[in-house]
Amino acid sequence: METWMAVMIGILFAVGTYMILTRSLLRVILGTAMLTHGVHLLLLTMSGLKTGAPPLLGEEAGKYIDPLPQALILTSIVISFGVTSFFFVLAYRTYQDLGTNDPEQLRGGDHE
């Protein structure tokens, strides 16, 4: 199971990196979203998969899964959700004001 997750995370990272390097802001943003999804899966995998129990401790819990990585993922999801939505708004405003969504055109220069 962990091996398959590793492959999956690798694919997400590869896709994310590829999309960040493309010349369209929309794809760049989706690329960062892919990247963060990959990281969240990585966090999940690090805590160990399939122990067959919820992250709860009973009075005499025989088996349980470590709840901390799930809390970390939740925090990270909230942050990346906020940042991604901000990024979309920023890209839209930039497209309106500067009339381009090509990062190459946003290079800027000393002429201003």
Closest approach, Cβ 59 to another protein, in A, equals 19
C-alpha 59 chain-centroid distance:
36
- 21 secondary structure, DSSP code: T
* Binding-site member from 56, 97, 104, 111 for another protein (CB under 8 A): 97
* Binding-site member from 8, 32, 64, 65 for another protein (CB under 8 A): 32
Contact 90, 53 (CB under 8 A): no
Contacts of 98 (CB under 8 A, 6+ apart): 105, 106
Question: Both tokens of residue 31?
Answer: 């690329």
In angstroms, rounded to a whole number, what is the distance separating the alpha carbons of residues 7 and 22?
Answer: 23
User: Helices in the chain by DSSP H: which ranges?
Assistant: 2-20, 25-46, 68-98
Binding mask 55-74 for another protein (x = CB under 8 A): -------------xx--x--
With respect to another protein, which residue has the nearer C-beta, 60 or 112?
112
* Binding-site member from 15, 20, 26, 65 for another protein (CB under 8 A): 20
Per CB under 8 A, residues contacting another protein are 20, 25, 28, 32, 35-36, 39, 42-43, 46-47, 68-69, 72, 75-76, 79-80, 82-83, 86-87, 90-91, 93-94, 97-98, 103, 106, 108, 112
